[in-house]
Amino acid sequence: MPKNCAGVELGDRKPIAPYRPFNPKEDKWETWLLQFRAYLDINCVSEENLKRSCVLTSLVPSCFEELRRACLPKTPFDFCYEEIKSKLEKLYGAQVLLLSCSANFFKVRQEAHQSAMEFANELKHAAENCDFDSFNLEAALIVQFVNGMSNEHCKRKLLAKGRSITLEEAVSFVQIDEQVRSSQTDSSAKETGICSVIRTTRPEQRTAAEQKCFRCGKKGHSQADCLFKEAICFNCKCVGHLARMCKKPPSGRCNRPSRAPRRKRATARQVRTVTVTSVAHFNDRAFLNADSFAVRVRINGQPVMMELDTGAAVTIVDTKWWERIGKPDLSPPSVHLKSYTGHELSLKGEVRLPVQCAGQSKQLLLRIANCPATNVLGRDWIRAFSLDTSLQSFLRAGAEVKQVKQSALLDVLKKYATLFQPELGHCKKLKAHIELKQGAVPVLRKPFPVAYALRGAVEAELQRYVDMGVLTPVEQSDWAAPIVIAKKPNKRVRLCADFSTGLNRALVTNAHPIPSPEDLYQALEGGMKYSKLDLSDAYLQLELDEESTENGRIFSRCARRHTNQQWSSRMS
């Protein structure tokens, strides 16, 4: 009979199930190996070949394939258990950097949510790979030297070297790096040819808190931690910065001009873009179709398309059109222009030119924008060509059409006045009936508590129902359901009866087929006009018959009198 490690016979007991496979994506190699040793002990596996087979069968396929490649040109079965374990440790074991582990150990601080035991366990975990058995004064100096230095580049290099480096070697390494940086600064300054005093000392490195973030423009955080690293720029539509930090020129806007000497009596006017939809209905050959809102004019003998805009104070064309009309000599601008959003509009100049529009010829002042812009026919030219008179006549015609439509609407409202009265409607064609199951037992539920802030509104709504004839107070009833309150956007409340507390289970329900959306669309096929009716308090307009009024009663708590009242519902 087989025996265990202590020499005790095991009888007919079967071995336990195979150990769970090692998965590098989920398991840590050191922890998994400790548990695997326990698996070997309880199964009394002591032979090297059996240990090797156990560990090979406890690997996920991807891990076994990586081990097989590491054993080439041989196979894993050509190695003993210890060799297999060593190869797996090289593949999946944690690489320990003593200096980095020691530096991290001295950075551990207790968090606010940690207990003393949890903090102690975290310290033990941080000290696991520090090898403090060989820790001495030299090692402590190196750890603190690396922890306290401000040169992040050198810190990463020294942490990668490990604790085998001495303090003198670490200091020498940092000094060499400082000299290299200083020499690079000197050489770059000489190449630029700028005569200036160059500091030979290492420049101070600014921390993330001192540098301005290129994403949002603020300080106090690194660029990787910026809240706007996923933001979309409104200017260039790129992800990663705000529009105020965008390096591209503003799209569709004019750049701010440099400050120029102001004229003594320069007036400030605002230019804004407001679409006038009625312009499209002018019966004039000078105007184009309704989609363009454009006017065809001739400036200095050249045809120019301009957008008519009653929101613009002056008429403007861009530099491209100024070149097309012959590049006439410009005078300095006499006005300062701003957009509706407050942005300044840079002007190249202004010139007075002959203009023909709508059969008229005028000598008018034209402003030239200093950036690409839409050609705008403003209010100055609108008045010059008397286009405002056409606008006023169109508005008067629109008002007359509106009056005709309102008159037709009043006739309909007068003809069907009963449909639009503020009082509650009443369905007179039929009454609702509640049919109960055989042997149904009456259920009376106590009212739900009502918030003190809503009790006044609830009482007012109940009284309104009584005044409309929807509810009638009763003294006693076998059936009663509590009410639930829902707030409306107009600060009133909607009262609903919760019949799920008893009445619903006692009802005889009739099954009705519900049409599918496809059936409804098919029924509407061929229609030309569709109406949507919204009835006010529609459920209150259908009355219950006398037999059903007792079953549809509700139970409420009246705050002012602190008594319970039952209400008989006259409507369903």
Residue 137: the pLDDT is 62
In DSSP notation, 179-216 reads HHHHHHHHHHHHHHT-------SPPPPPPTTTSPPTTT
Q: Look at the block and give the residue holding tokens 């009043």.
A: 410
The answer to whether 231 and 242 are in contact (CB under 8 A) is yes
Output the pTM of the full model. Answer: 0.31
At residue 374, the pLDDT reads: 82
Contact residues for 159 (Cβ-Cβ < 8 A; gap 6+): 97, 99, 100, 103, 146
Alpha carbon dihedral 70, 75, 81, 82, in 10-degree steps, equals -40
What pLDDT is recorded for position 351? Answer: 92
State residue 278's pLDDT score.
32
Nearby residues of 88 by Cβ (< 8 Å), 6 or more positions away: 22, 29, 55, 67
Q: What is the pLDDT of residue 548?
A: 78
Separation CA 278–CA 46 (nearest Å): 97
| Residue tagged 């919204």 (tokens) | 534
The span from the CA of 30 to the CA of 56, in Å, is 16
One DSSP character per residue, 60-90 reads -HHHHHHHHHHHTTS-GGGS-HHHHHHHHHH
Q: Which CATH number fits domain 421-511+531-571: 3.50.50.60, 2.40.37.10, 3.10.10.10, 3.40.50.300?
A: 3.10.10.10
**C-alpha span between 273 and 375 (Å, rounded):** 11
* pLDDT 10s digits, 344-398: 788 889 999 999 887 888 899 999 988 877 888 888 888 888 876 666 665 565 5
pLDDT digits (tens, 9 = 90+) for 456-477: 888 888 888 888 888 888 877 8
Q: Which residues pair with 361 in a beta bridge?
A: 356
Amino acid 163: pLDDT? 57
Give me the residues paired with residue 317 across strands. 368
pLDDT less than 70: residues of the chain: 1-17, 94-105, 108, 110, 114, 119-120, 123, 125-145, 147-148, 161-164, 167, 183-210, 250-293, 341, 388-405, 555, 557-572
Task: Give 471's strand partners.
Answer: 569
Cβ-count burial 405-435 (b if 16+ within 10 Å, e if not): eeeeeeeeeeeeeeeeeeebeeeeeebeebe
Q: What pLDDT, on a 0 to 100 scale, did the predictor assign at position 186?
A: 54
Q: Which residues contact 247 (CB under 8 A, 6 or more apart)?
A: none
Where in the chain are all domains bearing CATH 3.10.10.10? 421-511+531-571
According to CATH, the superfamily of the domain at 272-281+293-395 is Acid Proteases (2.40.70.10)
Residues in CB range of 62: below 8 A, 6 or more apart: 24
pLDDT score for 396: 60
* Angstrom distance (rounded) from CA 307 to CA 376: 5
Nearest Cα to Cα of residue 338 among 312, 306, 371, 302: 312
Q: Where in the chain is the domain with CATH 2.40.70.10?
A: 272-281+293-395
Contacts of 561 (CB under 8 A, 6+ apart): none
Q: Do the beta carbons of residue 375 and residue 307 sit within 8 Å?
A: yes
Q: In what order do the strands lie in the sheet with 267-270?
A: 267-270, 335-338, 344-345
What sections of 72-194 are H helices per DSSP? Answer: 81-92, 98-105, 116-126, 137-148, 152-161, 167-192
Greatest CA span in the chain, whole angstroms?
A: 122
Q: Which amino acid does the sequence have at 24?
A: P
**93, 29 Cβ separation under 8 angstroms:** yes
